[in-house]
Amino acid sequence: MEQGSAGQRGRTDMQRERNERLTRVGPGTPMGKYMRMFWHPVAASVEIRKDADLPVIPVKLLGERLALFRSEDGSLGLVAERCPHRGAALSWGMVEDDGLRCPYHAWKFNKSGHCVDQPSEPEGSKAKDRIKISAYPVQEMGGFVWAWLGPLPAPLLPRWEFAVREDYDQDIGVSRLPCNWLQVAENTMDPLHIEYLHMMYTNYVRKRKGLSTIPLRKHKKLAFEVFEYGIVKKRLWEGDSDDSPEWTVGHPQIFPGTALVSYHNGWNQFQIRVPVDDTNTIIYWYNCRPREAGKPKQTEVPIWENPWADDKGKYMPDQLNAQDMMVMITQGDITDHSAENLLEADKGVALYRRTLLEEIEKVERGEDPLGVIRDPAKNTPWIELPIEDEINFAFQGVQASAAYDFPDV
Ligand code: FES
Ligand SMILES: [Fe+2]
């Protein structure tokens, strides 16, 4: 009996430890180190224009508070936000060509984080030479500013096909969720929720509102395959033939947590989940659409808010993106995954978590995890991903979000 309860305690401790390994992203944590093996978007380029009143903004990534600034020549810098003098925020500082000055006493830091001026100190003081703050590489691509918080040398910033193709335009929807990144990202590995959250529940809500219902569909088969950049999810709907591209090709969850889904006519959407800290996650709904013939190329990639709550702060149970965000957030700030009951229907989620834990171990052994690219030949002209031509289920007529009428999957 005693042995049993000791075993029980041991198992619970292991589950708790596994939960921590999967969810915590701060510096020094196992998942935090794994996450630092990837470039993450830290802002949209339009949020940090050089002609802004103050061309510096606060950003937070993987639990680190940072200041992102743009100099007159257009180049970007990313440094720790806290001034090492007496702690004021550099994100309210003065941007100069070669660095950023603190607003409080004007200590100046260059883009490598070295303190290069302390005007409040006596002439000839060498005190500044001892002072350095964290500074990180940044690159712009596809309308985003991407940051590298990991060990140097950084690998290549992946050139995803639809983000870099000259015949595509993009826009960025932004959602800010007060919950852990994993419960956001693993939604992609749970294909069955479409039948319930997006079909059964949608119809429940629509009936209560006196609206028409949408057709229901059932999955016939599901498959998940680990590949070079993550996991491909495949589904076959009842009534579709075995050569349906949703089954023969599927679409990927790009590690660590970005889904790529296909809508129609070449419109593809990346759902980029960025861990801000342990209890906050940004989703960038990154729409990439082929440019219509004769239309000029866009000059910048616009952003728009994709809210999960209405203006009264209530969830929006009849909007598709908001439905997903409702079930992500209501799990809690960091859900206790050890208290779940994963069954047959959750095998995609189980595989995702198992694979992430294996990838964490690779990083602990000093190896590159799945999806890290160091060979320029792989990154040129762009990286193609498996993506079915077009999803094939009937949500038309149901609002997906404030900006488009097709669902996430
Ligand atoms: S607090 Fe930044 S210079 Fe004094
Ligand atoms: Fe969904």
Q: Cis (ω within 30 of 0) for the bond into 153?
A: yes
Question: Span 271-284, mean pLDDT?
Answer: 98
Among 122, 147, 172, identify where a domain stops: 147
Residue of 102, 116, 131 to test ligand 1 pocket, by largest number of atoms within 8 Å of CB: 102
Residue having the nearest C-alpha atom to atom 4 of ligand 1: 105
Q: Is 164 in the pocket of ligand 1 (CB under 6 A)?
A: no
pLDDT at 13: 85
Sign of CA dihedral 17, 18, 20, 25: positive
- Position 397 pLDDT exceeds 60: no
Which of 107, 117, 131, 133 maximizes ligand 1 atoms within 8 Å of its Cβ, making it the mutation to test the pocket?
Answer: 107
Atom in ligand 1 nearest the alpha carbon of residue 86: 1
Task: For ligand 1, say whether the CB of 136 is within 6 Å of any of its atoms.
Answer: no
The CATH number covering residue 304 comes to 3.90.380
Q: Does pLDDT of 393 surpass 80?
A: no
**Domain with 53 in it: what CATH number?**
2.102.10.10
Residue 262 near residue 251, CB atoms below 8 Å: yes
Q: Are residues 56 and 114 in the same domain?
A: yes
The predicted model gives 145-173 an average pLDDT of 97
User: pLDDT band at residue 99, thresholds of 50, 70 and 90?
Assistant: very high
Tell whether 139 and 167 lie within a shared domain: no
Domain identity same for 302 and 340: yes
Sign of CA dihedral 169, 268, 257, 158: negative
Query: Which ligand lies nearest to the CA atom of residue 395 in the structure?
Result: 2
| Residue to substitute in 79, 86, 131 for testing ligand 1 pocket (most ligand atoms within 8 angstroms of CB) | 86
**8 falls in which pLDDT band (50, 70, 90)?**
low
Q: What is the pLDDT of residue 392?
A: 57
2, pLDDT greater than 60: no
d(CA 9, CA 99): 53
Residue 142 backbone zone (phi > 0: left; psi -120 to 50: alpha; other: beta): left
Give a yes or no: residue 312 inside a domain: yes
- How many structural domains does the chain have? 2
Protein residue closest via CA to atom 3 of ligand 1: 105
- Ligand 1, atom 1, lies closest to the CA of 86
pTM above 0.75? Answer: yes
For the Cβ of 88 lying below 6 angstroms from any atom of ligand 1, the answer is yes
Instruction: Give the domain-ending residue among 119, 147, 175.
Output: 147
Answer yes or no: is the C-beta of 105 below 6 A from any ligand 1 atom.
yes
Q: What value does the mean pLDDT of the chain take?
A: 93
| 367 in the same domain as 243 | yes
Cα–Cα distance, 137 to 147 (Å, whole number):
6
Question: What are the φ/ψ torsions at residue 231 (nearest 5 degrees)?
Answer: -130, 130
Closest ligand 1 atom to 107 CA? 3
284 domain residue, yes or no:
yes
The Cα 397–Cα 376 span in angstroms is 44
In a domain, 392, yes or no: no
* Most distant CA pair in the chain, distance: 80
Separation between Cα atoms, residue 11 and residue 197, nearest integer Å: 32
Same domain, 305 and 260: yes
Question: What order do you get walking across the sheet with 76-80 strand by strand?
Answer: 56-61, 64-70, 76-80
Q: Is 402 part of a structural domain of the chain?
A: no
Neighbours of 210 (CB within 10 A): 6
Q: Are 158 and 379 in contact (CB under 8 A)?
A: yes
Query: Domain check: are 223 and 140 in the same one?
Result: no
Question: Do residues 205 and 133 share a domain?
Answer: no
Q: Which domain holds residue 219?
A: 161-379
Residues 104 and 80 in one domain: yes
Task: Report whether residue 131 contacts ligand 1, using a CB cutoff of 6 Å.
Answer: no
Distance CA 323, CA 175 (A): 13
How large is the angle between the packed helices 2-23 and 347-364, nearest 10 degrees? 80
Mutate to test the pocket of ligand 1, among 81, 82, 85 (most ligand atoms within 8 A of CB): 85
Answer whether residue 240 is part of any domain.
yes
**Residue 251 in contact with residue 257, Cβ under 8 Å?**
no
Write down the pLDDT at residue 400.
Answer: 77
User: Which candidate, 224, 225, 228, 206, places its Cα nearest to that of 215?
Assistant: 206
Position 22 confidence tier, pLDDT thresholds 50, 70, 90: very high
408 occurs within a structural domain:
no
Q: 128 and 55 in one domain?
A: yes
Measure the CA–CA gap between 199 and 194, rounded to whole angstroms: 6
The Cα 320–Cα 228 span in angstroms is 30
* R_g of the chain computed on alpha carbons: 23
374 part of a folded domain: yes
Do 196 and 258 reside in the same domain of the chain? Answer: yes
How far apart, in Å, do the first and last CA atoms of the chain sit? 47
* Chain segment 322-380, per-residue pLDDT in tens: 999 999 999 999 999 988 999 999 999 999 999 999 999 999 999 999 999 999 999 99
Q: What is the per-residue pLDDT across 285-334, written as a single tens digit (0 to 9) for each? A: 999 999 999 999 999 999 999 999 999 999 999 999 999 999 999 999 99
Domain boundary (88, 122, 147) is at 147
pLDDT-derived band at 1 (thresholds 50, 70, 90) equals very low
Ligand nearest to the CA of 400: 2
Out of 9-18, 60-69, 121-130, which region has the weakest mean confidence (pLDDT)? Answer: 9-18
For residue 278, is it within any domain? yes
Domain co-membership, 114 together with 177? no
C-alpha angle 310-174-182 in degrees, rounded to nearest 5: 95
Same domain? For 231 and 347 the reply is yes
